[in-house]
Structure 1
Amino acid sequence: MLKHFLFILLFSFGINAFAQELDFKAPDYKQIEKEIQDKKSAFYYPKLIDRLAKNDTLMTQDDFRYLYFGYVFQPKYNAFWRSPDEIKLREYYNKEKLETADYNEIIKLANHTLTDFPFDLKQLNYLAYIYHLKGDDEAAKITSYKFHNIMNAILSSGDGKKCETGFHVLLVEHEYVMLNLFELESKGQSLVGNCDYLSFEKGKYNVDGVYFNIEKMLENEAKGIK
C-alpha cells in the first residue's frame, strides 16, 4: 500500500505539505456541536456533507475541521466502524498485480464504503490511485483533494508531541494512515490518559513516538457499553 500513499502526494491542490510545521488548535467540540446544528451556520452539518458529496473543491480548512470533528455528533458515528466491503477489497489489496478489469469493481466497492463512512482515508487513498490507473485523473484529483483536506484537519488539531497536544482522530485506523503517509513504523501502542501513544524504535526517527487524542472514541465506546 505504500506506493498508493506516495502516489497521492502528486495531487496536492496547493495544500500545505505534510512535512511542514502547521499551526494547530485543538477542536472546540462544544462550539463545533453548536455550529453544525445551527441551520443558519455556514457549518451546518447537512450542508457540509452535501458539499463533500458534490465534490465541492472550494471548501476551506475550517469547513473540513467542522466536517471531520463534527462527525462525532452524528448518530452513525462508530469508533469501531469497519468497511462493509472490507473482505472483498482486501482481495484486491493482496493482489500482486491488478488487472484492468479490476478497476471498475474496486471503484464501486470503495465508493460504496465511502457512502457509509466518508472519512475512510484508506479507501480515499486507494480510490485516487485506481482512478489514476484507469486514466481518470480528474476523479483522482478530486478524491485526493478530499484525502488531503481530511488529513490536514487532523494535522491542524495538534502536534503529537504529548497527550495534551495529540492529533485528534475518529478511528484508530487514521493513526496508521498518518504513519504510513510519513513512512513511519511503530513498534508499540499504549493508552496514556485519553491518548493512543505509538512508539518508534529508539533513535530511528527524530521523535520516540506520537500521541493521538482518542477522547471521542472512548466516549463513543462508553455509550456502546451502556
Structure 2
Amino acid sequence: MKKLLTSILILFFIGQISYSQDWDFEKPDYSKIEKNIKDKKSNLYYESLMNRFSKADSTLSLKEKRHLYYGYTFQESYSPYGRSTYEDSLRNVLQEENLAHVDFEKIIAFGDKILRSNPFNLDALNYQLFAFEQTKDQEAFQKKLTQLRTIVDVLMSSGNGKTKENAFYVIDTSHEYNLLSILGFQFGGSQHLIEHYDYLSVAENNQDIEGFYFDVTPCLNSILK
C-alpha cells in the first residue's frame, strides 16, 4: 500500500539522522547496567525507568535511556525471539488496500498489545505513528515519537557498525533492519553470524558501505538460557 509505505518514511527523518562514522559512541557495560538498575534509590532503578518510558518522558538522559534499553535484557519478560500473536492480526489489517478509521483504531490497538510484551518493538511503534498521523491525534503521535526516538538514541550511541569493534549493540535482531532503514540504507540480502555479531550487507549506496556489524550477545545468551 503506497500511502502506508510513504508514511514509514517517518522513521527515516526522526531527529534528521544522517550516517556518519565519526559520532561519539560507547559500548554498553552489561554487568554495570545490571547492577545499577537494581538500586531502588537510584534514578537508574529499572521500574522507574520503564514507568517514565511508558509515559513518554522526553527528559530521560542518554545514560538513563541506555539503562532502560540494555537493562531490559535482565527482565523476566525479555524474549528476543518471542513473537506476539497480534503481529499476524496487525499484518492482516495493513494488507488492506484502503484503510478506514476503524482500521487505524485496530492498528493502534494491536500495536498496544504487541508493545505490552515487547515495549521496544520499533515496527509496532512506527505503525502506530502512521495511524495517529492519519487520525490526527497529535498528542498520541508525539508520545509515540518520543518513545521511538528514545530507542533510536540508544542504538546510535552504541557504535557506528563499521567494524566488529565498533558494532551497533542491539537486544533484538529486528532492530538491525530498523536501524538500516533509519540510516537510509537498504538490506543487501546477506546476513551472517560471526562470533557474537550479526553482519548485514547493504545495497549499493553512494557511501560505498558494504555492510554493518551488530553485537547480539544478549540474544544469543537468551538461547543458552
Q: CA deviation at 1:206?
A: 2.3
Q: CA deviation at 1:68?
A: 0.4
Amino acid at match of 1:143: K
Match of 1:4 in 2: 7
SS of residue in 2 equivalent to 1:210? strand
Q: Say yes or no: does 1:196 pair with 2:211.
A: no
Contact 1:166 1:213 in 2 (8 A): yes
SS of residue in 1 equivalent to 2:180? helix
TM-score by length of 2: 0.90
Aligned in 2, Cα 1:9/1:145: closer, same or farther, shift over 3 Å? Answer: farther
Match of 1:17 in 2: 17
Residue ranges of structure 1 left out of the alignment (5+ in a row): none
- Percent identical pairs in the alignment equals 33
1:50-65 matches, within 5 Å, as 50-65=51-66
Aligned in 2, Cα 1:76/1:91: closer, same or farther, shift over 3 Å? Answer: same
Contact 1:8 1:129 in 2 (8 A): no
Count of residue correspondences: 220
Contact 2:73 2:218 in 1 (8 A): yes
1:1-226 matches, within 5 Å, as 2-8=5-11, 12=14, 15=15, 17-20=17-20, 21-181=22-182, 182-201=184-203, 205-223=207-225
Aligned in 2, Cα 1:41/1:18: closer, same or farther, shift over 3 Å? Answer: farther
Segment drifting more, 195-204 vs 121-130: 195-204
Aligned in 2, Cα 1:76/1:98: closer, same or farther, shift over 3 Å? Answer: same
SS of residue in 2 equivalent to 1:206? coil
Q: CA deviation at 1:141?
A: 1.4
Where does structure 1 differ by over 6 angstroms across 4 or more consecutive aligned residues? Answer: none
Q: CA deviation at 1:17?
A: 2.5
Amino acid at match of 2:142: K
TM-score by length of 1: 0.90
